[in-house]
């Protein structure tokens, strides 16, 4: 009988990425999170958009985050 090797699961997102997303969610709650280049867009009201902005910021900082899905 062949024994199965246990695969070790690795985090998809780094801890730093999680903190950046949490920060973006906090800013959304306070009403200070804005979309667009340089925050020139409107106020962010969507939870999904806040998460996307947080992940984008984490990528810029160099945190481990999977690449964006092609549109």
As averages over each run of 10 residues, the pLDDT of the chain (71 residues) reads 72 93 96 91 94 94 88 70
pTM for the whole thing? 0.79
Q: Is 34 helix (H, G, I), strand (E, B) or coil?
A: strand
Question: In this structure, is the dihedral angle defined by the CA atoms of residues 58, 62, 67 and 68, taken in order, positive or negative?
Answer: positive
Beta bridge pairs of residue 13: none
How many distinct structural domains can be found in the chain? 1
In a domain, 38, yes or no: yes
Alpha carbon distances (Å) from 44 to 25, 58, 62: 10, 18, 24
**pLDDT confidence of residue 54:** 95
User: For residue 37, what are the domain limits?
Assistant: 15-61
Q: What is the pLDDT of residue 34?
A: 94
Length of the chain: 71
């Amino acid at each position: 009988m062949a024994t199965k090797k246990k695969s070790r699961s690795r985090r998809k997102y780094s801890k730093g990425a999680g903190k950046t997303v949490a920060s973006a969610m906090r800013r959304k709650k306070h009403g200070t999170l804005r979309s667009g280049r340089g925050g020139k867009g409107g106020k962010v009201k969507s939870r999904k958009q806040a998460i996307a902005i947080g992940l984008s910021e984490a990528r810029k900082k160099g945190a481990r985050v999977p690449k964006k899905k092609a549109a």
